[in-house]
Structure 1
Amino acid sequence: MRRILTILTFALCIFSCETKGTQETKTTTTKTEKESTPKKQFPKLEPNRYNVGFLIMDGVFNTELTAPFDIFQHTIFRENIKAMNVFTVANTDAAVTTFEGMRILPDFNYLKDSLPKIDILVVPSAEHHLDTDLDDKKMIAFVQKVAKDAEFVTSHCDGAFVLAKAGLLDDVASTTFPSDIKKMREMFPKLDIRDNTLFVHDGKYITSAGGAKSFEAALYLCEHLYGKEIAKSLAGGLVIDWTLDGYPHTIVK
């Protein structure tokens, strides 16, 4: 009997040690996971600059995002102007994957973060701007809210469909990607949609054909804000021969 009790006691000790070890391992793992989760870092926004927010989502096209981003970001290297803070905004903290496969970590999540005032909203084109993205009520509401106080709202390529869905183009002229003009007219028959032009500026709205012409639309806004010399300087830094002379564009007075 004594031998049986000894065996049982030994077995209980082993079980207790194993259980304790397992619990310690779980506690250590949980603690390590928490410690390894990086704290979100927001971009540093310098005072006395335009805050330029780029709306991004899965399927955003590289060029319509990076072209104006490059132009606007380079304003910080010019003297005696009100330069631009550029940052991205999305509905997630997770990485956004562009149509071409780049992965971008958004600076702000408009669903939960406290956002700075956006002076210039940029809506690049994305893969589903002609269909499912237009059903995203929270995204459309965000665009509407920002547009109320923004000094400029710009779109590139099919980003114009988002502005149209938000009702922002009801009283202004606009344009979009050349081969999608017909589709846009069908979806929004009451809008004044221009063709044979690479960008349209009407009020605080600038819509562009997109693609590589997104550079020119961004340069135009810089010329509008800073003058020709600054715009030419920004263009020169990216080896772009910039001039509005002979460039197909529409400015509605």
Structure 2
Amino acid sequence: MGASERNTGRGADQTTVRRQAGDEWDAHGGCVVPPGPDPHRVAVLALDGVMTFELGIPARIFNSARSPDGAALYEVVVCTPDGGPVRTEAGFSIDVAHGPEALESADTVVVPPTHRLGGIAGEGLLPAPLAEALARIRPGTRTVSICTGAFVLAAAGLLDGRPATTHWAEAEHFRRLFPRVRFDEDVLFVDDGDLLSSAGAAAGVDVCLHLVRRDHGSALANQVARRCIVPPWRDGGQAQYIERPVPEPTTATTAPTRAWALERLDRPLTLGELAAHARMSVRTFTRRFRDEAGVTPGQWLTAQRVEIAKQLLETSDLPIDLVADRAGFGSANSLRQHMRELVGVPPGAYRRTFHTAAVSGRAAAGR
């Protein structure tokens, strides 16, 4: 089965997606989760020394995803390779209700990071109990790593020849240990269909919200983000968080200009206008904007407009040219071009994928 690869997401450096012929793909390049009465089962594999913040992310995000009638869309369980308790990096242990058998029935498996990688980080080798546990995962099961959880997937051979990421501080070590992995340290997460990996800590929130969006559309993902009081998506990649020398101290920021621009996306905005609002030269504004947002001003504006277009396509019956106008693209052709570049599909295909679900949700809520 042939495969082609492309960049997608908010900004060309945000995610990488592999699409395969013969599969049913949603507008974000991932396999569509079919609707059904049973919630999507997520198994979180906790290893010795697990990071508690990242361990809790899947339950916090997925358990907040509800249907219009309040039914849970996901079931999240935590398991360990042997069913026993594990120590955490926070100085306490946790007991779990499930052993490795939980991996056999999982629709999605999430591997959060641990500070006790041991031989995995040293020689790239899995301990026997962990290797046996991972072998229980059914072929085709969606598997996700958070932060250094990518070391586990790579040591298992799951990432060979495929794109992946992890925390930027581990980038060089990861590359040396797993040269077969197509590693990208700049992105917040990588979506390669059935295998996803995310950068450190809060990037686990980004990838879990991305999965809710992939499974059920932007409207629900935005609701979940609001409940959790986190942004529904973040600009740029983790390049903006890498430690670099600061050449000169400054208190100026482009954040007020970004907020100002968000209220004016329906009309043309030039780089000169943005720089003037920030009271900076174009060169200084462009440099500072990229340092803060991780993308250029033009890429950022396009991504914001695509998000508005996606929401309008999901929640309204407006003609494509009117959607393009309200999102600030000026023409339907411009909207089509940018949606193909950033989302991977044209507006009509995106609407067919997500508009029906949105309308059904509103109808169910009104009953």
| TM-score > 0.5 by shorter chain | yes
1:183 pairs with 2:183: no
Separation (CA, whole Å) in 2 of partners of 1:82 and 1:142: 27
Deviation of 1:109 after TM superposition, in Å, equals: 1.5
Match of 2:108 in 1: 120
1:103 pairs with 2:93: yes
Match of 1:148 in 2: 139
Residues 79 and 180 of structure 1, relative CA distance in 2, 3 Å threshold: farther
Report which stretch shifted further, 123-132 or 162-171. Answer: 123-132
Residues 221 and 114 of structure 1, relative CA distance in 2, 3 Å threshold: closer
Separation (CA, whole Å) in 1 of partners of 2:184 and 2:138: 22
Separation (CA, whole Å) in 1 of partners of 2:68 and 2:237: 27
Separation (CA, whole Å) in 1 of partners of 2:120 and 2:231: 37
Residues 217 and 68 of structure 1, relative CA distance in 2, 3 Å threshold: same
Residues 51 and 189 of structure 1, relative CA distance in 2, 3 Å threshold: same
Mapping for residues 36-185 of structure 1, pairs under 5 Å = 48-76=38-66, 79=69, 83-110=73-100, 117-129=105-117, 131=119, 134-150=125-141, 152-185=142-175
Residues 47 and 97 of structure 1, relative CA distance in 2, 3 Å threshold: farther
Contiguous gaps of at least 5 residues in structure 2: 1-35, 239-341, 345-367
Q: TM-score if structure 2 supplies the norm length?
A: 0.51
RMSD: 2.7
**2:160–2:181 contact (8 Å) kept in structure 1:** yes
**1:155–1:207 contact (8 Å) kept in structure 2:** yes
Report which stretch shifted further, 91-100 or 166-175. Answer: 91-100
1:220 pairs with 2:210: yes
Residues 72 and 57 of structure 1, relative CA distance in 2, 3 Å threshold: same
**1:53–1:87 contact (8 Å) kept in structure 2:** yes
Q: Aligned AA for 2:62?
A: F
Secondary structure at 1:75's aligned position in 2?
A: coil
Separation (CA, whole Å) in 2 of partners of 1:145 and 1:56: 15
Deviation of 1:98 after TM superposition, in Å, equals: 1.0
Match of 2:188 in 1: 198
Structure with the greater alpha carbon radius of gyration? 1
Deviation of 1:145 after TM superposition, in Å, equals: 3.2
- 1:165-206 superposed Cα distances (whole Å, 9 cap, x missing partner): 111111310001111011111111121000111101112111
1:238 pairs with 2:228: yes
Secondary structure at 1:170's aligned position in 2?
A: coil
Residues 193 and 81 of structure 1, relative CA distance in 2, 3 Å threshold: farther
Q: How many residues align?
A: 203
Separation (CA, whole Å) in 1 of partners of 2:139 and 2:105: 11
**2:103–2:109 contact (8 Å) kept in structure 1:** no
Q: Aligned AA for 1:122?
A: V
Match of 2:237 in 1: 248
Q: Aligned AA for 2:114?
A: A
**2:143–2:194 contact (8 Å) kept in structure 1:** yes
**1:129–1:159 contact (8 Å) kept in structure 2:** no
Deviation of 1:58 after TM superposition, in Å, equals: 1.9
Q: TM-score if structure 1 supplies the norm length?
A: 0.72
Residues 223 and 171 of structure 1, relative CA distance in 2, 3 Å threshold: same
**2:120–2:155 contact (8 Å) kept in structure 1:** no
Give the percent of matched residue pairs that are identical in Structure 1 and Structure 2: 27
Residues 47 and 141 of structure 1, relative CA distance in 2, 3 Å threshold: farther
